[in-house]
A and B are shown apart, each in its own frame.
Chain A
Amino acid sequence: MTGIHKKKVTPYIFIAPQMVGYLLFVLGPLIAVLVYSFQDRNLLTGINQFVGLQNFSKMFRHDPIFWKTIGNTITFSLGQVPLNILLSLAIAIMLSRQFRGVGFFRTLFFSPVVTSAVAWAIVWKFLLQGGEQGAVNALLGIIGIQGPNWLFEPGWAMFSVIINRVLKNLGMNVIIFLAAVMNLPQHYYEAARIDGAGRIRIFLQITVPLLMPTLLMVTIITVIGSLKVFDTILLLTAGGPSNSTMVLVYYIYYQAFQFFQYGYASAVALVLFVFVLVLTAIQWSTRKRISHYEN
């Protein structure tokens, strides 16, 4: 009797710590953030007042910076993702061939991925100094180009954080694409070569369609990642100049922990949640469709 009883309980004991932790630190807080978004929370006075939809009406109707933040977040994603995907795919294809030193290049492209975004941003902050101070402008000066003040001019600041982020994370996508390219079924290629198809045709008609599932997955992962950018922004531009690099997570942080508008920040956090939820739903549905094809 006790043996059977024990057996029934065992799995629950095994999963209990993880599940309880999940309730305390993930699910509970998610419900809480929803509640907070209808409150005016003040840490100093300790008053948490229900304010109905006030946070949302402020966010959607009376806060131009919120809309700027949404626009910037989308610009950041749209700027970052295609560059990241195209470049990482090209590098992965180059690195999928066997040649001397291929491992060396793989190691190098990947090295920023293991580095902290903070250290990476700190170094680039020096490299991107304006005038002739920064290394980038000094090098551009050699070929007669006068570089801008990268991090302090509204147009260039966004460009700079995009490039910085692409360089930091690109290695990750290179590795994912590389694994996919190396695992492509070879018999398609042999057949195509026998049929006399050229390199470009083989790439467009065999490689690209076969890589489609990976391409979709990597794109969505990269978009979700780009929605969560924080440390790069804080260290390079702190959202400036004049909010031109203010993005969602930085705005949440700013409203909550600099401005102590916890209720309002919670409403903004919900927007991030909805974005990620929609993207994840797309990812799951495509994954389902893809596995359907594979079967």
Chain B
Amino acid sequence: MKISNPVSFNRSTMTRMAPKIGQYIILTLLVIPFVYPFWWMMINSLNTPDQIFGMPRLLPVSWKWSNYTEAFAYQPFAKQFLNSLYIASLVTMGNLFISGLAGYAFAKMKFKGKNVLFLLLLSALMMPIEVTLIPNFFFMKSLSLIDTHIPLILIPIFGAQGAFTTFMTRQFFITIPDELEEAANLDGLTPFNTFVKIIVPISTPVFSATAILSFLYSWNSFLEPLVFNDNISLFTIPLALANFNDSYGLPQWHLQLAAATASVLPILIVYVIFQKKIINAMAFSGLKG
């Protein structure tokens, strides 16, 4: 229905453009509180403590790069960074393997009690880890596992996060046609080898999505490390960030901001590169409830 009327042409482009420009203005105003804190954090990670406060600046005043070296010297931040990295990696791998295997059995195999067991496992999805934290603390204590990383690795793999990965992988495996496995069976592959050699390679979409979720879950988790670890050299990044206080309990603001920037920036960069994958994975996780 494009009837161009030369007289009203100017006017109609105006009315067509106006909402568009308005939309840009509204979105830009709305997005500021979501984005500006990151900019503020980066700028002030390069300032002295007294330059941090007052009227916000657009650029750092003193470009004090030594804040970063000081932050890494203040507590074993490099070690804490590695702690987070290896814990999140182990959680991710354990999650994919153990939950993937279970998800495969629930999707493709027939066995007694399947539905009951699956429902039981699904119930973990609605179980807040906060509810079971105290018994888990006593359990870990009785095994002398407090002040180790083992609770931070085991609980996400086997708890709600694991149940969620099982659910997610199951939903994907169900869509794989049975003929593939029948062929593998004829070739004499065991179920385990069928899973590893046939199923896993064609399931990268669901595995990469769950990997992202498990990694971010572990990387950002705060309450469990707080409860299970007291020793500063065992801290993960979120704990370390909360811990930039001097011996009098006064916060070391500039160092805290440098450490926060150093921890947030890698995640943001990875996010910008893989944003489509990450957003899709997170959107899916929102559906779990």
| CA of A12 to CA of B222, assembled, Å | 34
Q: From known contacts A122-B241, A224-B289, infer whether A11 and B111 are also in contact, taking CB-CB under 8 Å.
A: yes
Decide yes or no whether A280 CB sits under 8 A from chain B.
yes
| CA of A167 to CA of B33, assembled, Å | 7
Interface pair A273/B131, CB less than 8 Å apart: yes
Q: Which residues of B contact A99 (CB under 8 A)?
A: 20, 23
Interface pair A276/B128, CB less than 8 Å apart: yes
Q: Which residues of B contact A94 (CB under 8 A)?
A: 23, 26-27
Interface pair B222/A231, CB less than 8 Å apart: yes
Q: Which residues of A contact B139 (CB under 8 A)?
A: 24-25, 28-29, 32
Interface pair B34/A111, CB less than 8 Å apart: yes
A238-276 interface bits toward B, Cβ cutoff 8 Å, 1 = contact, 0 = none: 000000000001001100110000100110011011001
A99-118 interface bits toward B, Cβ cutoff 8 Å, 1 = contact, 0 = none: 10100011111111111111
Tell me the interface secondary structure of chain A in the complex: helix
Decide yes or no whether A217 CB sits under 8 A from chain B.
yes
Interface pair B191/A126, CB less than 8 Å apart: no
Interface pair B132/A116, CB less than 8 Å apart: no
Decide yes or no whether A71 CB sits under 8 A from chain B.
no
Decide yes or no whether B44 CB sits under 8 A from chain A.
yes
Stretch at the interface among A62-70, A154-162, A171-179: A171-179
Give chain B interface residues in 1-60, CB to chain A under 8 Å: 20, 23-24, 26-27, 30-31, 33-35, 37-38, 40-41, 44, 52-56
Decide yes or no whether A134 CB sits under 8 A from chain B.
yes
Choose from A25, A138, A171, A249 the contact partner of B158 (Cβ within 8 Å).
A25
Interface pair A126/B52, CB less than 8 Å apart: yes
Give chain B interface residues in 247-269, CB to chain A under 8 Å: 253, 256-257, 260, 263-264, 267-268
**Smallest CB–CB gap between A27 and chain B, Å?**
8
Closest to A263 in B: B134
Q: Which residues of A contact B52 (CB under 8 A)?
A: 126
Interface pair B154/A19, CB less than 8 Å apart: no
Choose from A18, A115, A129 the contact partner of B268 (Cβ within 8 Å).
A115
Interface pair A176/B287, CB less than 8 Å apart: yes
Closest to A220 in B: B289
Interface pair B44/A15, CB less than 8 Å apart: no
Q: From known contacts A108-B34, A114-B268, A116-B220, infer whether A29 and B132 are also in contact, taking CB-CB under 8 Å.
A: yes
Interface pair A280/B238, CB less than 8 Å apart: no
Decide yes or no whether A277 CB sits under 8 A from chain B.
yes
Stretch at the interface among B75-83, B97-105, B200-208: B97-105
Interface pair B222/A19, CB less than 8 Å apart: no
Interface pair B159/A25, CB less than 8 Å apart: yes
Q: Which residues of B contact A277 (CB under 8 A)?
A: 126
Decide yes or no whether A208 CB sits under 8 A from chain B.
no
Interface pair B53/A129, CB less than 8 Å apart: yes
Decide yes or no whether B160 CB sits under 8 A from chain A.
yes
Choose from A30, A107, A109, A119 the contact partner of B264 (Cβ within 8 Å).
A119
Q: Give the total of A residues in contact with B, Cβ under 8 Å.
A: 94
Closest to B136 in A: A29
**Smallest CB–CB gap between B136 and chain A, Å?**
5
Counting contact residues on chain B (CB < 8 A from A), the size range is 35 or more
Closest to B240 in A: A118
Choose from A106, A109, A134 the contact partner of B53 (Cβ within 8 Å).
A134
Interface pair B131/A30, CB less than 8 Å apart: yes
**Smallest CB–CB gap between A164 and chain B, Å?**
10
Interface pair A118/B242, CB less than 8 Å apart: yes
Choose from B31, B56, B106, B241 the contact partner of A118 (Cβ within 8 Å).
B241
Q: Which residues of B contact A18 (CB under 8 A)?
A: 98-99, 101-102, 121, 158, 162-163, 166
Interface pair B130/A228, CB less than 8 Å apart: yes
Decide yes or no whether B65 CB sits under 8 A from chain A.
no
Q: Which residues of B contact A107 (CB under 8 A)?
A: 272, 275
Interface pair A33/B134, CB less than 8 Å apart: yes
A30-43 interface bits toward B, Cβ cutoff 8 Å, 1 = contact, 0 = none: 10110010000100
Choose from B127, B271, B289 the contact partner of A283 (Cβ within 8 Å).
B289
Interface pair B98/A280, CB less than 8 Å apart: no
Decide yes or no whether B177 CB sits under 8 A from chain A.
no
| CA of A258 to CA of B267, assembled, Å | 32
Closest to A227 in B: B128
Residues of B within 8 A of A (CB): 20, 23-24, 26-27, 30-31, 33-35, 37-38, 40-41, 44, 52-56, 98-99, 101-102, 104-106, 109-111, 114, 117, 120-121, 124, 126-128, 130-139, 154-155, 157-160, 162-163, 166, 191-192, 195, 216, 219-220, 222-223, 226-227, 237-238, 241-242, 253, 256-257, 260, 263-264, 267-268, 271-272, 275, 278-279, 282-283, 286-287, 289
The list of the 7 closest CB pairs from A to B, nearest first, reads A21-B158, A32-B135, A14-B105, A29-B135, A29-B132, A18-B102, A11-B109
With A116-B220, A257-B227 known, 17 other A-B pairs at CB within 8 A are A19-B120, A24-B139, A26-B159, A27-B124, A107-B275, A110-B279, A111-B35, A114-B267, A116-B264, A118-B242, A122-B257, A129-B53, A139-B56, A167-B34, A249-B223, A256-B137, A266-B134
